[in-house]
């Protein structure tokens, strides 16, 4: 039977009458069910009277037909044949009523007739041992993607294929599906505030957020393409808040420098775009006292990210281009002798650091500084707090420390 089915199209095109074979095969399918992929080769008539493979034809009136491009090679089954047999029998024989899932449990090479399958295969760290993917996605009309995605979400089999980790379907849709004229990765979810300004919110197309993220609509900075993110940060027409800029640079610090081209334009802490060649990456907070905002690129207050970010952007570190000598020796004071510091450390549960600090009446251009001689501060609570936070590795608590040094009481911390 299989041999007869697989040559049935050639026979029909040669003038052989295959109507009897079609009748026998469809009756057998009705009795024993599907599960035989080769049935898709069965020759069946299309709506204009030509013979086509069953798996190249769709049921008349199927919603699947509504999302196909005009030049799609998928035809429509002859109305007479569609009426003669139950839809369940025809689809079991390979006729399409929706998108079809390919499931190969012993995959060895990209030979499943999926669009761009070889490129997907090569993108994987390890070759897949099983391929579960959706056929015919490349036949969807550009304007019909919202409807097509709704169809994919509405069937358990296609929904599972779409959400398969590392699968072909989500990989291909992220690069080729169109939502309001743009690929999924060019949009963000409306609630993804950390991407605001860099990416526009996806229009309301009636699609579930889980579906949108599965096909590549962005929900976090980590999901963004690093090259695209760099381009958007360097776009002067975009208004991006300072917090988003800092978090975007922090995300970029985890990028392999070999995966991106260093940008010509970067966004600095003043929120504006400047030539990269004029900028540095901030790796020490006291340097802000001598560097203009329009030269400083930052990944936020985790200064461990400065070096990897500088590599990605191909920029120097601020400490590498800054030299200074603090005039005057200052008065050395042990941290343990500063009562307000001891009280502040106690309230925050931070050990009082060993050593001490060089206290100056004034440090022109900066409240505090660190050099080979040690830590220098002006005699003020904000300066002491910054220096203390730096040497105790509690930099995010510097503002709390400043308040506690100024008024070292439990009420200050609790209020």
Per-residue pLDDT at 390 exceeds 80: yes
Regarding whether 285 and 262 lie in a shared domain, the answer is yes
Distance of CA 212 to the CA centre of its chain: 12
Regarding whether 128 and 83 lie in a shared domain, the answer is no
Per-residue pLDDT at 325 exceeds 80: no
Helix (H) or strand (E) holding 296: strand 296-297
Regarding whether 343 and 247 lie in a shared domain, the answer is no
242's tokens: 């300072």
Average of per-residue pLDDT values in the chain: 94
Contact indicator for 67, 144 with CB cutoff of 8 Å: yes
Contact indicator for 185, 191 with CB cutoff of 8 Å: no
Cα Rg of the chain (Å, integer)? 33
CA gap 307, 290 in Å, rounded: 20
pLDDT in tens, 212-237: 999 999 999 999 999 999 999 999 99
DSSP for 7-54, written as a single string? THHHHHHTT---HHHHHHHHHHHHHH----GGGGG-EEEBTTS-EEEG
Per-residue pLDDT at 372 exceeds 90: no
Per-residue pLDDT at 358 exceeds 90: yes
Residue 284 pLDDT = 95
Whether residue 254 is contained in a domain is answered as yes
Regarding whether 175 and 132 lie in a shared domain, the answer is yes
Give me the mean pLDDT over the 26-41 stretch. 86
Residue 137 pLDDT = 97
DSSP for 352-377, written as a single string? PPSSEEEEES--TT-SEEEETTEEEE
Give me the mean pLDDT over the 12-36 stretch. 89
Name the DSSP class of 312: H
Residue that is last in its domain, among 260, 291, 320: 320
Residues 6+ positions from 165 with CB-CB distance below 8 Å:
none
Whether residue 237 is contained in a domain is answered as no
Higher pLDDT, 33 or 225: 225
Residue labelled with tokens 């307000």: 340
Residue 415 pLDDT = 87
Whether residue 373 is contained in a domain is answered as yes
Regarding whether 339 and 307 lie in a shared domain, the answer is no
The total of structural domains in the chain comes to 4
Per-residue pLDDT at 201 exceeds 70: yes
Give me the mean pLDDT over the 253-277 stretch. 96
Give me the mean pLDDT over the 85-102 stretch. 94
170's tokens: 């989500």
Residue that is last in its domain, among 167, 186, 221: 221
Per-residue pLDDT at 328 exceeds 80: no
Residue 262 pLDDT = 96
Whether residue 169 is contained in a domain is answered as yes
Phi, psi of 104 (to 5 degrees): -115, 110
Name the DSSP class of 317: B
Regarding whether 72 and 21 lie in a shared domain, the answer is yes
Whether residue 229 is contained in a domain is answered as no
Regarding whether 134 and 54 lie in a shared domain, the answer is no
Whether residue 340 is contained in a domain is answered as yes
Give me the mean pLDDT over the 62-73 stretch. 94
Helix (H) or strand (E) holding 133: strand 131-134
Give me the mean pLDDT over the 25-32 stretch. 91
Structural domain range at position 354: 331-414
Tally of residues, the chain: 415
What is the pTM (predicted TM-score) of this model? 0.82
Could you give the 3-state DSSP secondary structure of residue 342? Answer: helix
> At 34, is the pLDDT very low, low, confident or very high (cuts 50, 70, 90)?
low
Give me the mean pLDDT over the 198-216 stretch. 96
Residue 327 pLDDT = 74
Whether residue 6 is contained in a domain is answered as yes
Regarding whether 88 and 105 lie in a shared domain, the answer is no
Residue 17 pLDDT = 93
Residue that is last in its domain, among 92, 110, 145: 92
Per-residue pLDDT at 70 exceeds 80: yes
Whether residue 226 is contained in a domain is answered as no
Per-residue pLDDT at 406 exceeds 90: yes
Regarding whether 342 and 309 lie in a shared domain, the answer is no
Per-residue pLDDT at 125 exceeds 70: yes
Residue 44 pLDDT = 97
Per-residue pLDDT at 271 exceeds 70: yes
Give the helix ranges, DSSP H, for 33-186.
Answer: 63-66, 79-84, 87-92, 117-123, 145-154, 156-162, 168-176
Regarding whether 207 and 108 lie in a shared domain, the answer is yes
């Amino acid at each position: 039977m299989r041999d007869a089915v697989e040559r049935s199209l050639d026979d029909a095109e040669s003038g052989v009458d295959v109507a009897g074979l079609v009748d026998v095969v469809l009756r057998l399918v009705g009795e024993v069910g599907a599960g035989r992929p080769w049935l898709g080769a069965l020759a069946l008539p299309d709506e204009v009277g030509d013979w086509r493979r069953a798996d190249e034809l769709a049921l008349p009136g199927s919603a699947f037909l509504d999302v196909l491009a005009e030049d799609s090679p998928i035809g429509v089954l002859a109305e007479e044949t569609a009426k003669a047999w139950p839809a369940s029998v025809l689809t079991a024989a390979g006729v399409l009523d929706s998108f079809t899932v390919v499931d190969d449990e012993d995959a060895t090479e990209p030979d499943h007739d999926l669009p761009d399958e070889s490129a997907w295969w090569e993108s994987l760290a390890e070759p897949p041992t099983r391929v579960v993917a959706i056929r015919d996605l490349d036949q969807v009309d550009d304007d019909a993607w919202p409807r097509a995605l709704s169809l994919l979400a509405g069937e358990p089999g296609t929904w599972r294929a779409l959400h398969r980790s590392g699968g072909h379907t989500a990989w291909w849709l992220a690069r080729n599906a169109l939502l309001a004229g743009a690929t999924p990765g060019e949009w963000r979810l409306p609630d993804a505030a950390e991407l605001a300004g860099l990416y526009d919110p996806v229009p309301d197309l009636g699609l579930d957020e889980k579906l949108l993220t599965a096909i590549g609509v962005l929900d976090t900075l980590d999901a963004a393409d690093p090259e695209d993110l760099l381009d958007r940060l360097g776009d002067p027409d975009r208004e991006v808040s300072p917090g988003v800029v800092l978090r975007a640079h922090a995300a970029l610090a985890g990028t392999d420098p070999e995966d991106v081209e260093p940008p010509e334009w970067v966004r600095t802490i003043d929120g504006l775009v400047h030539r990269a060649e004029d900028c540095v990456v901030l790796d020490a907070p006291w340097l802000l006292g001598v560097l203009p905002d329009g030269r400083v690129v930052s990944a936020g207050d985790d200064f461990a990210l400065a070096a990897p970010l500088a590599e990605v952007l191909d920029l120097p570190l601020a400490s590498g281009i800054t030299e200074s000598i603090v005039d005057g020796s200052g008065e050395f004071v042990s941290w343990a002798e500063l009562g307000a510091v001891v009280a502040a450390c106690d309230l925050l549960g931070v050990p009082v650091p060993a050593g001490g600090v060089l206290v100056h009446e004034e440090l022109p251009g900066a409240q505090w500084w660190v050099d080979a001689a040690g830590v220098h501060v002006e005699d003020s609570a904000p300066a002491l707090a910054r220096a203390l936070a730096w040497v105790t590795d509690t930099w995010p608590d510097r503002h709390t420390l400043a308040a506690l040094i100024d008024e070292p009481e439990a009420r200050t911390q609790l209020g």
